[in-house]
Chain A
């Protein structure tokens, strides 16, 4: 007799296996649901030193992507938000006023390590 697929059975089932995603360096960038949206990974991987900033008041990373896209990442790798657009003029005004500053070399490397 054929065994029904597990998800159609009324029988008690054993606890689900652990998530298939094994811990890697990638998993250090994450959202509350365990996976960041796709474009943030691409933009972080492509970001150069001139694309990565820090909000001094809370230590969050700001990553600039193409087409006025912007990602905000906690220093521990939690993906907070992605915005579109934050215009270049608006971004540069923040930079000018000190609301963001360029990431240091160490900060830049730590961010890149989140998606290595």
Chain B
């Protein structure tokens, strides 16, 4: 189960140099939630929804994607959204996934092999959901 520590760990002066290497600020936490979405097998139902039910360029809340995958997402800012675009190389089985927070202008990009995802037997995806 993915749940990241939400405690603010900056110093009273707001300096990140006070952070230990293993601690994260809010953007690092968003980074992990969004990167996990394209990395972990058990979150693949969310990606099937993204690539299947959403047209390219259509934003969806990352919180909603976690809900679809049946995973908790209390640490995700509700404003963080995701969308996909066709690969600029024109390769039909590939997509680019964008994650974006309007408030902070934070963003993250992922290349993703959609063809591999769609070739998975549905039972495997269902098992991943648990």
Contact = CB atoms under 8 A, between A and B. Distances in A.
Contact of A89 (B21, B39, B91, B116): B21
B28 A89 contact: yes
Contacts of B113: 31-33, 78-81
The 10 closest A-B pairs by CB, nearest first: A32-B115, A58-B41, A32-B116, A90-B28, A96-B22, A81-B38, A89-B28, A33-B93, A90-B31, A90-B32
A59 to B, nearest CB: 9
Interface of B: 2, 4-5, 19, 21-25, 27-29, 31-32, 35, 38-42, 91-94, 108-116, 119, 128
Contacts of B31: 85-87, 90
Interface residues of A, number: 30
Query: Could you tell me the dominant secondary structure of chain A's interface residues?
Result: mixed
Nearest to B39: A72
A89 to B, nearest CB: 4
B67 to A, nearest CB: 20
Contacts, number: 96
B50 to A, nearest CB: 13
Interface string A65-99: 00000101000001111111111111011111001
Given A31-B93, A31-B115, A60-B41, 8 more contacts: A33-B115, A58-B41, A82-B111, A88-B21, A90-B24, A92-B22, A93-B22, A95-B22
B21 to A, nearest CB: 5
